[in-house]
Structure 1
Amino acid sequence: MKEEINYSIIIPHKNIPDLLQRCLNSIPRREDIQIIVVDDNSDSNIVDFEHFPGMSEPCVEVVFTKEGKGAGYARNVGLSKAKGIWLLFADADDFYNDCLLEAIDTYKYSEFDLIFFNADSVYSNNQSQHISHPHADGLNFFISKYTSAPVFCMDSLRFYFGPPWCKMIKAKLIKNNSIYFDEVSVHNDTMFSLKIGFLSKKQYVSKYSIYTTTLRKDSITFQKDTKKRLLIKTYVSISYDNYMRKIIKKRSFRLANRLFSYIRNKEYFSFIFVMEYLRRKKCSILLYTIVCFPMITLYRILRFVFGKIGISSHRQDIRR
C-alpha cells in the first residue's frame, strides 16, 4: 500500500534554476513528502528544460505553466496538485535548514491548523553572513516574545505576517474555506495569509528555525515601485483593510502604513495618482492617517527596541 502523503511543499519558480536546485537539495526525500515545483513560464534561454531541477525524481512533481501570471498563480496550481495533510511553501531562491524533518514531524499528529516557525536570513551569494531581513526579523521577534505577550504576538503573526514560508498549514483549512493566492505581481500572499490566520482555530509557535530566506539584488521583493506595482499594492491594501474591518472587526493600519512608505519613495511616488484611486474606492485617508499613524509609530518603536535586544541572541538559541 502506498504511504500516505503527510507534507506537500509548494515552490514557485521563474528563471533561477541553480537556486531552485539549491532549494530542492535542502529538502530531505521521503515517501510521505510531496515536493511540487511550478514553473512560471521561464525563459528557455535561461532554463534548460530537458534537465530541469527535480524532473527525474519520483518525489518531485514539476508542473510547467505558460500563462506567466506570477508566483500567486503558480502557488494556486501547486495547491491544486497537493495531496499532503500539511502544506508548506518555499521560495525558489530560499532553502530549508537541517532541522526541517525533526521540526515538522514533531507536529505531524497535532490538532493545530497553523504553526509558525522561525527563520534565518542570509545573502544569497554569501550564506555564511547572517543579515537583517524585514520579514524574518519580524517573525522571530513575535515568536521570541510570545511567552510574555501571547495574545498580542499571536495576533501579529496571524494578521500581519504575510509570507507563506515558515508556516505549516493544515490542508483542510485551505480546502474547506476555498483560500487561494491573489494572482497579482506583488503581494499575492497578503490576503492568503490573512485568511488562514483568521480562519484557523488552533495556532502554535515553534522555536525551531526551519527556513533560511535570502536577499539578492534581482529579487522582486526589493524592486522599486512603478505606477503599476503601486496600484496593485494599494488594491491589496484596500482588500486587506476591508477584510479586517468587516470580518475580524479590527481596524487595520496597513493602508496608512503603505501610504507613508510611498511618500518615502520619492522617485516613484505619485501622490495624486494614489489619492485619486483611493477616492474612487471611497477610502477615508484622513481617518486612516489620524487613527493609524500613532499605532504605526508605536509598533515600529517597540519592534526596534525589543528586536535589537532579543533577535540576535534568540537566533542562536533556536538554531539547531
Structure 2
Amino acid sequence: MYKNKIELSIIIPHYNDSVLLEKLLDSIPSEKDIEVIVVDDNSDKEELKKYKEFKDKDRFSNINFLMNKTNKKGAGVCRNIGLNNASGKWILFADSDDYFIEGFYDVVSKYFCSNIEVVLFPPTSIYIDTNKEANRHINFVEILNSYSNNNNLRDELYLRYKISNPISKLIKKRFIDDHNLKFDEVIASNDVMFSTKLGHYMNDFKIDNKTIYCITRNKGSLTVNNSEKIFDSRLNVYINYCNFLKEKLNENELSFFNLKGQGYLFTSIKHGYGFKKTWNVFCEFKKNSIKPFDYRVMNPMYLIKKLLKHYRLEKTLKKYR
C-alpha cells in the first residue's frame, strides 16, 4: 500500500492560480522521497493551458498533475482525489496560492521514522502585494502557543477542535486511512470536519515551533462572497461541527466553546437573504439544540469590546479591499 521510496506526499488543490501555483511548486525541493500531487478543479481554458505546460517542465518531474473528473467541484473533492492517489507515508496539504518556507523539508524529514501521528507547525502569513505580515496565521499560532505554555484542558480542546485548516500539519497517511478521514465535498468549509476529526482522534502528536508554511492574502482572497449557496454550505458544516462536539465532548468540555448561531443570523440579515431565510436559519439552530444567540451581547461592555475588535479588523483590512 505504501511505497517505501516515497516518504512524503504533498497534496495541492488548484483552480485558476497558475502563477502562484508555480511559486508554490518552486518552494518544494526535488527530493526522491517527495511526491507532489496537484489536482486541478477544472480551471478556465487559459489557466488550464498554463497548468498543462507545467507537465513539460523538467524541474517538475516529481509532480503528478491530475484533473478533477467528478461531477463535483471544490477543494474538498480535489483533496480527496489527492489522498486516493497518495503513496507517501506522510501527508502535507497546501493551497495553491501559498508556499513553503525554505528549509521546510529538513524540518519535516526528521519525523519520517517516528511513531508520531500528527506534527503541528506554526504558520506565518503575508499580504502578497506588499510582503508585509498578514493576520491569517494568528489564531493558529495563538492556539499552539497557549497549549505549549499552559497545557490545560481548555488549551488542549482548542488545539484539537478550533484549528480548521489542514495546512502546516504533517500527518501520517496510515492514521488518515485508519480513521477514514475525508474532506467534505462541498463548495465551502470543506476542511472543517476533516480537521475536527483529525484533532479528535490524534493521540501521539507534537508541536514543533519551527515555521514551515506561509499563507498568502491578496485582494481577491478578501472579497466577501455573498452567494447564498456558499452561506448554506458553511451553515450546514457548522451545524455538523456543533453536533460532532456535542456527541464527543462532555458538558464541562463543551462549555469552553459557547456554540451559537448568531453569526449566521446576522450574516443572513446583512446580505439581505430575506426574513424567511433568516427565520429558517433560526429554526435550524433550534432544531439542532444550538443557541441562536449569545446573550452576552446584552451586556453593554461585552458588546462594546466586540464592536471595537471588529472595527480595528475592518480598518486594518480596508486598504486591501
| TM-score normalized with structure 1 length | 0.82
Match of 1:202 in 2: 204
Identical aligned pairs, as a percentage? 28
The one-letter code of the counterpart of 1:204 is K
Is the alpha carbon distance of 1:5 and 1:260 closer, same or farther for their aligned partners in structure 2, counting shifts above 3 Å?
Answer: same
1:91 aligns with 2:91: no
Deviation at 1:246, TM superposition (A): 0.8
Instruction: State the Cα deviation string for residues 170-189 of structure 1 (Å, max 9, x = none).
Output: 11111111110001111000
Instruction: State the Cα deviation string for residues 113-154 of structure 1 (Å, max 9, x = none).
Output: 111101111112333x11222xx1011112223332113333
Deviation at 1:275, TM superposition (A): 3.5
Q: Pairwise mapping of residues 257-296 of structure 1 onto structure 2 (< 5 A)?
A: 258-259=263-264, 262=267, 266-268=270-272, 270=274, 272-280=276-284, 282-286=287-291, 289-290=294-295
Match of 1:120 in 2: 124
The one-letter code of the counterpart of 1:142 is I
Question: Which of residues 81, 85, 93 in structure 2 aligns to 1:81?
Answer: 85
Match of 1:22 in 2: 23
1:153 aligns with 2:169: no
Q: Which runs of 5+ in 2 are unaligned?
A: 310-321
Is the alpha carbon distance of 1:160 and 1:224 closer, same or farther for their aligned partners in structure 2, counting shifts above 3 Å?
Answer: same
Instruction: State the Cα deviation string for residues 282-306 of structure 1 (Å, max 9, x = none).
Output: 1335476359999xx79x98xx8xx
Instruction: State the Cα deviation string for residues 218-243 of structure 1 (Å, max 9, x = none).
Output: 23x74333222111111001100111
CA distance in 2, matches of 1:275, 1:183: 27
Is the alpha carbon distance of 1:285 and 1:65 closer, same or farther for their aligned partners in structure 2, counting shifts above 3 Å?
Answer: closer
Question: Which of residues 46, 50, 62 in structure 1 aligns to 2:65?
Answer: 62
Match of 1:318 in 2: none
CA distance in 2, matches of 1:289, 1:120: 31
Is the alpha carbon distance of 1:270 and 1:149 closer, same or farther for their aligned partners in structure 2, counting shifts above 3 Å?
Answer: farther
The one-letter code of the counterpart of 1:181 is F
Deviation at 1:3, TM superposition (A): 5.3
Q: Secondary structure at the match of 1:103?
A: helix
Is the alpha carbon distance of 1:21 and 1:256 closer, same or farther for their aligned partners in structure 2, counting shifts above 3 Å?
Answer: same
The one-letter code of the counterpart of 2:15 is K
Deviation at 1:256, TM superposition (A): 3.0
The one-letter code of the counterpart of 2:10 is I
Instruction: State the Cα deviation string for residues 95-126 of structure 1 (Å, max 9, x = none).
Output: 00013112102222222211110111111233
Q: Which runs of 5+ in 1 are unaligned?
A: 305-320
Q: Secondary structure at the match of 2:121?
A: strand
Is the alpha carbon distance of 1:148 and 1:27 closer, same or farther for their aligned partners in structure 2, counting shifts above 3 Å?
Answer: same
Match of 2:228 in 1: 227
CA contact (8 A) 2:68 2:77 kept: no
CA distance in 2, matches of 1:174, 1:150: 25
Is the alpha carbon distance of 1:215 and 1:49 closer, same or farther for their aligned partners in structure 2, counting shifts above 3 Å?
Answer: closer
CA distance in 2, matches of 1:15, 1:248: 40
CA distance in 2, matches of 1:108, 1:271: 54
The one-letter code of the counterpart of 2:64 is E
CA contact (8 A) 1:97 1:212 kept: yes
Count of residues in correspondence between the two structures: 293
Match of 2:54 in 1: 53
Question: Which of residues 248, 256, 261 in structure 1 aligns to 2:261?
Answer: 256
Structure 1, 200-209 or 87-96: larger mean CA deviation: 200-209
By percentage of residues, which structure has more strand? 1
CA distance in 1, matches of 2:297, 2:172: 33
1:217 aligns with 2:232: no
1:166 aligns with 2:168: yes
